[in-house]
Amino acid sequence: MQPVIIVHHHEITLKGDNRGFFEKQLRRNVRLAIADLVPSSTVVSGGYGRFVIDLPSNISIEVIADRLTTVFGLSNVCIGVRVQQDVEEFTGAAGQLLEGETFRTIRVDTRRPDKNFPVRSMEVNARVGEYLCKRFGVRANLTAPDETIFIEIVNGAAYVYRSKLKGAGGLPVGASGRVVSLISAGFDSPVASWMLMKRGGTVVFVHFHSMPYTSERSIDQVRQLVESLTRYQFSSKLYLVPFAEIQQEIVLQSPQPLRVILYRRMMLRIAESLAHREKAEALVTGESVGQVASQTLRNIRAINAVATLPVLRPLSGTDKEETIAVARMIGTYDISKEPYDDCCSFLAPRKPETWATIEEVENAEKKLDIHSIITRALGRVTLEHFSFPHVTETNALELQPN
Ligand code: ATP
Ligand code: MG
């Protein structure tokens, strides 16, 4: 009996002609998620929408399984064993998996995509079930059993397991292309970024900071957020854009109530320029309709007007509480809850405009040399790389004897 983890593909089983592409991306991601724990060659196709991973004896199964529960594109993660296609082997394996457990009722759930195996699923359920009932002195219960034994007969092998963890769902990261996400140290934008990863996007991060007027600590908070989100996409880029000078110029030249709208329009323009460099398909923000003054529908419209790429706002219809629940689940809550200086509360207007027209905003911008502002900011951008897990790279040296 070889200990294995079986993972089932989620939505990609529905993807028709593109299925091969999605599967390739998913297998790459499964391998990356556990790259520091098992050699990539141990992750193989198990046939019919599943991968099987042979487990080395020296590593905790729970650690590997836990990593796999954050891989987008998997519906579940099952810990069990591989056996030969033989009912005796199924009963033996099931008996071993249940040894020492306390339960009163059981169900056996068999799937048989491999029709070369002659015994039908119902019959396997009945025979294995009967054996287990006798051996453990329990009863069968098909609707609400204390324990379920799953058997999968597929591609010349069979897998038996009793524990099934819920997978992350969604689509494999990378399968949908790239997006550039505007990330701050708050609760919303990390959640919005995660949602795009869940839909198969590779997220490139951009953060605008107001150093030296705000502290390095708020940038560190963004770095921590990116590091924590990198768990879901394995490697990340973070562009840091100096924004203080731009804000000062806007403060000097423009009506106070419009400041935040003008900041946001500058952010979008710069982010879009980085998006072109990154060959990204869209921008992402954490905006939620009506949450603050800059996020009224009319102001979103005035801000959005400078973008030519789609600006995705996955949180546009969510309440703060719902966003915070996701932040807790994905591990960004504890980082975002720390106080930070926001580049936009610094130099924020006392009475912000809540219903700006595009005309009035464009008029205000006439005093600014937008091209030169953007060029200067882009010239001072820094780029940081993050990766998960932290694998030391080994290069093979093809040395020749002297
Ligand atoms: P968050 O919790 O993401 O900060 P928020 O509800 O506080 O969002 P705002 O601060 O008004 O809202 O920002 C709206 C959106 O603009 C953010 O979700 C983010 O996408 C983007 N944004 C705001 N500040 C920055 C920044 N300093 N750098 C990059 N993007 C930013
Ligand atoms: Mg914010």
Q: How far is CA 113 from CA 48, 136, 277, in A?
A: 7, 29, 46
Residue from 183, 184, 241, 299 whose mutation best tests the ligand 1 pocket (most atoms within 8 A of CB): 184
Q: Are residues 247 and 310 in the same domain?
A: yes
Q: How confident is the model at residue 401 (pLDDT cuts 50, 70, 90)?
A: low
φ, ψ of residue 318 in degrees (nearest 5): -105, 155
pLDDT (tens digit per residue) in 258-314: 999 999 999 999 999 999 999 999 999 999 998 887 889 999 999 999 999 999 999
173 lies in some domain: no
The pair of structure tokens assigned to 6 is: 């079986």
- Structural domain for 342, as ranges: 178-396
Is there an atom of ligand 1 within 6 Å of 352 CB?
no
Measure 187 CA to ligand 2 centroid, in angstroms.
Answer: 7
Scanning the structure block, which residue is given the tokens 């287990």? 132
Measure 183 CA to ligand 2 centroid, in angstroms.
Answer: 9
For the chain, the domain total comes to 2
Q: Are residues 157 and 24 in the same domain?
A: yes
CA dihedral 50, 387, 170, 333 (to 10 degrees): 130
Angstrom distance (rounded) from CA 241 to CA 219 = 11
Angstrom distance (rounded) from CA 54 to CA 310 = 43
Helix (H, G, I), strand (E, B) or coil at 14: helix
The pair of structure tokens assigned to 123 is: 């019959």
pLDDT of amino acid 350: 80
Q: How confident is the model at residue 391 (pLDDT cuts 50, 70, 90)?
A: low
Q: Which of 103, 132, 166 is the last residue of a domain?
A: 166
The pair of structure tokens assigned to 111 is: 């799937």
Q: Is the pLDDT of residue 10 over 60?
A: yes
- Pick the atom of ligand 1 nearest to 208's CA: 28
Say which CATH number the domain at 350 has.
Answer: 3.40.50.620
Measure 56 CA to ligand 2 centroid, in angstroms.
Answer: 45
Measure 369 CA to ligand 1 centroid, in angstroms.
Answer: 24
* Dihedral sign, Cα of residue 248, residue 250, residue 255, residue 258: negative
The pair of structure tokens assigned to 400 is: 């020749």
Q: How confident is the model at residue 346 (pLDDT cuts 50, 70, 90)?
A: low
pLDDT (tens digit per residue) in 212-265: 999 999 999 999 999 999 999 999 999 999 999 999 999 999 999 999 999 999
Is there an atom of ligand 1 within 6 Å of 188 CB?
yes
Is there an atom of ligand 1 within 6 Å of 207 CB?
yes
pLDDT of amino acid 393: 46
- Pick the atom of ligand 1 nearest to 190's CA: 3
Q: Which ligand is nearest to the CA of 295?
A: 1
Is there an atom of ligand 1 within 6 Å of 239 CB?
no
pLDDT (tens digit per residue) in 326-337: 999 999 999 999
Q: Are residues 102 and 72 in the same domain?
A: yes
Q: Is the pLDDT of residue 389 over 90?
A: no
Of 167, 223, 235, residue with least CA distance to 340: 223
pLDDT of amino acid 85: 98
Measure 343 CA to ligand 2 centroid, in angstroms.
Answer: 9
pLDDT of amino acid 76: 96
- Pick the atom of ligand 1 nearest to 264's CA: 16
Q: How confident is the model at residue 400 (pLDDT cuts 50, 70, 90)?
A: low
Is there an atom of ligand 1 within 6 Å of 323 CB?
no
Q: How far is CA 98 from CA 83, 106, 131, in A?
A: 16, 10, 12
Q: Are residues 283 and 222 in the same domain?
A: yes
Q: Are residues 21 and 122 in the same domain?
A: yes
Is there an atom of ligand 1 within 6 Å of 386 CB?
no
Q: How confident is the model at residue 394 (pLDDT cuts 50, 70, 90)?
A: very low
Q: Are residues 146 and 196 in the same domain?
A: no
The pTM of the full predicted model, rounded to 2 decimals, is: 0.93
- Which DSSP string corresponds to 204-220? EEEEEE-TTTS-HHHHH
Q: Are residues 147 and 256 in the same domain?
A: no
Residue ID of nearest Cα to ligand 1 atom 7: 186
Q: Are residues 253 and 126 in the same domain?
A: no
Mean pLDDT in residue range 335-348: 82
111 lies in some domain: yes
Half-sphere exposure for 126 (CA within 13 Å, toward CB): 5
Q: Are residues 198 and 102 in the same domain?
A: no
Helix (H, G, I), strand (E, B) or coil at 361: helix
Measure 388 CA to ligand 1 centroid, in angstroms.
Answer: 25
55 lies in some domain: yes
Mean pLDDT in residue range 135-162: 97
Mean pLDDT in residue range 119-148: 97
Is there an atom of ligand 1 within 6 Å of 335 CB?
no
Q: Is the pLDDT of residue 392 over 50?
A: no
Q: Are residues 260 and 360 in the same domain?
A: yes
Q: Which ligand is nearest to the CA of 291?
A: 1
pLDDT of amino acid 160: 98
Angstrom distance (rounded) from CA 219 to CA 61 = 36
Helix (H, G, I), strand (E, B) or coil at 103: coil
266 lies in some domain: yes
253 lies in some domain: yes
Angstrom distance (rounded) from CA 258 to CA 354 = 9
7 lies in some domain: yes
Q: Is the pLDDT of residue 13 over 70?
A: no
Q: Residues with beta carbon < 5 A to ion ligand 2?
A: 184, 186
Measure 186 CA to ligand 2 centroid, in angstroms.
Answer: 5
End-to-end CA distance of the chain: 49
By the 8 A CB rule, do 72 and 5 touch?
no
Q: Are residues 233 and 280 in the same domain?
A: yes
Residue ID of nearest Cα to ligand 1 atom 27: 208
Is there an atom of ligand 1 within 6 Å of 53 CB?
no
Q: Which of 122, 138, 166 is the last residue of a domain?
A: 166
Q: Is the pLDDT of residue 145 over 90?
A: yes
Q: Is the pLDDT of residue 317 over 80?
A: yes
pLDDT of amino acid 84: 98
Mean pLDDT score of the chain: 93
Cross-strand partners of 7: 51, 77
Q: Which of 117, 133, 166 is the last residue of a domain?
A: 166
- When mean pLDDT is compared across 221-225, 251-255, 342-346, 355-359, the lowest value belongs to 342-346
260 lies in some domain: yes
10 lies in some domain: yes
pLDDT of amino acid 398: 54
Q: Are residues 212 and 273 in the same domain?
A: yes
The rounded percent of the chain whose pLDDT value lies above 90 is 83
